[in-house]
Amino acid sequence: MDREQKKNELIGFLRTIQRPDYPHNQIDEDSSLIESGLIDSLALLQIVTHLEQAYDLDFREIGFDPAELRSVGSILNLIARELKS
């Protein structure tokens, strides 16, 4: 899967966990997921679970860093870095 496909897959997942009152349709690659109101901090856990299942990432080894889950772009960077290593 290339970055664009991963991005679409990730946005598809984020749609399933977004806040019910999120006012926008677009999900920008760089804007903060929490500050933009798309998700609340609790939803970070669901992103972790998703990344574990979809990309086999092991956060016990990577270490949990909320900043790496800050935006769609930073999540994609994390996936790319971990799959490469």
Partner 1 sequence: MNASQLSYRKLAQLHENERLIAWLQSCRLVIWLSVARRRQILFIGAIFAGVVGAFSRQASWHEYRFLTPWLVHGIAFLLLLGIIYSLYLAAVNFKRLPAVIRGRPQLCFHFFFWLLLLIIWCAPEQSGFSLAVLAVVAVSFPYLIWRAGYMLLSGQRGRAEGSRFSDHLFYIWPVWDGTNTPPGKGHDNLSRAEAQTPEAYARAILGGIKLLLLVALWKLVMQVIGAVVYGDPKSSLTPLLKGFYLGIPRLKQILGSDASTPLFVMWVSLYLELIWETLSLAAKGHVWIGVLRLFGFNVFRNTYKPLLAETVVDFWNRYYYYFKELMMEFFFFPAYVRYFRNQPMLRMITAVFAAAFVGNMYYHLLQAKDPLIAGNVDRLWAILGARFVYCFLLASGIAISMMRQQSRRGHPQAATLRTGGFSGVKRIACVWTFFAVINFWNVPANLTIAERGRLFLSLFGL
Q: Is 40 helix (H, G, I), strand (E, B) or coil?
A: coil
CB of 20 to partner 1, least distance (A): 3
CB of 37 to partner 1, least distance (A): 13
Query: Which conformational region is residue 42 in: left (phi greater than 0), alpha (psi within -120 to 50 degrees), or beta?
Result: alpha
Phi, psi of 56 (to 5 degrees): 60, 35
In one letter, which amino acid is 30?
D
CB of 56 to partner 1, least distance (A): 11
2 vs 60, beta carbon nearer partner 1? 60
What residue ranges bind partner 1 (CB under 8 A)? Answer: 15-22, 40-43, 45-46, 48-49, 52, 59-60, 63-67
Query: Max CA-CA distance within the chain?
Result: 38
2 vs 52, beta carbon nearer partner 1? 52
Output the six-digit token pair for 22: 């999120």
67 vs 85, beta carbon nearer partner 1? 67
